[in-house]
């Protein structure tokens, strides 16, 4: 209860100022503004803050994997491989980096921020797809734009140097797949342990509450918590994952 009280106090302080989007952090000379508001300290209860941060770091690691994969595909192409892989690697980096943030990290963030069953379900579904994608990329089928194990090992007979470079994204995609699976298991255990269900997600869908969870300045006012749950009541204990 002490943790909930502290979180409520943070929300009270946050209600005094308007929410300003702060992610991604863009230089001032770029004529664009951040699209999202992200504040782990104010939005996420203390007992789940570490977990949400690690999911965020997983997204960053996957983006780095895609960038390393791009370099490896270039080495693959220069050493005699197909340029199609390099082209797809560019596409995957440009497409999956922002989509990963929007489609599976943000649902996880919003789920823990406002105890939203709909966002939990969105996270489980999209992150499950992300896990399958990471496994496919770790395998490394030629022509799919991913330097996985099959592509790297088979290329040793052609060019050892390029094959060694290709091993780096293979390892990183493997780590990404494993950690993604662990994140899914961890979040699912917390959600089910708190009594979450698909029916709750359906109710949010039908009621329309998934569209407008409590705003940054609306989530806590006065001396009582709002009816829409702000602080998730998931069981604590246990380590990551």
Peptide bond into 108 cis (omega under 30): no
Q: What is the pLDDT of residue 38?
A: 92
Overall size of the chain counted in residues: 241
Q: Cα torsion at 95, 96, 99, 105 (round to 10°)?
A: -160
Q: Which of helix, strand or coil describes residue 36?
A: strand
Local mean pLDDT, 10-residue blocks, the chain (241 residues):
43 52 82 87 91 96 98 95 94 96 94 87 94 96 93 94 96 98 94 66 56 48 38 49 49
Distance separating alpha carbons of residues 11 and 3, to the nearest angstrom? 12
Q: What is the pLDDT of residue 21?
A: 87
Q: What is the pLDDT of residue 216?
A: 41
Q: What is the pLDDT of residue 193?
A: 77
Q: What is the pLDDT of residue 26?
A: 80
Q: What is the pLDDT of residue 228?
A: 39
Which of 60, 62, 39 shows the shortest CA–CA distance to 49?
Answer: 39
Q: What is the pLDDT of residue 87?
A: 95
Q: What is the pLDDT of residue 24?
A: 85
What pTM, to 2 d.p., does this model score?
A: 0.78
Which of 145, 163, 165, 143 shows the shortest CA–CA distance to 154?
Answer: 163
10 Å Cβ neighbour count for 29? 5
Is 104 in contact with 126 (CB distance < 8 Å)? yes
């Amino acid at each position: 209860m002490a943790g909930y009280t502290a979180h409520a106090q943070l929300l009270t302080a946050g209600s005094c100022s308007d929410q300003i989007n702060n992610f991604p952090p863009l230089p001032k000379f770029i004529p664009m503004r951040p699209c999202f508001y992200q504040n782990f300290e104010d939005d996420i209860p203390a007992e789940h803050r570490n977990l949400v941060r690690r999911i965020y770091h997983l997204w960053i690691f996957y983006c780095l994997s895609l960038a390393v994969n791009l370099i490896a595909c270039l080495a693959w192409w220069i050493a005699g491989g197909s340029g199609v892989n390099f082209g797809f690697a560019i596409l995957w980096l440009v497409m999956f980096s922002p989509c990963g943030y929007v489609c599976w990290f943000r649902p996880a963030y919003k789920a823990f921020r406002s105890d939203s069953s709909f966002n939990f379900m969105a996270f489980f579904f999209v992150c499950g797809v992300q896990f399958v994608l990471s496994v496919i990329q770790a395998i490394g089928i030629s022509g799919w734009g991913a330097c996985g194990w099959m592509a790297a090992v088979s290329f040793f007979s052609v060019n050892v140097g390029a094959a060694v470079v290709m091993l780096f994204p293979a390892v990183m995609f493997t780590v990404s797949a494993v950690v993604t699976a662990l994140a899914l298991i961890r979040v699912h255990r917390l959600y089910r342990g708190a009594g979450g269900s698909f029916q709750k997600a359906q109710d949010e869908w039908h009621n329309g509450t998934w569209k407008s969870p409590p705003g940054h300045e609306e989530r806590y006012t006065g001396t009582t918590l709002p009816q829409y749950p702000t602080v998730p009541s998931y069981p604590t204990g246990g380590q990551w994952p």
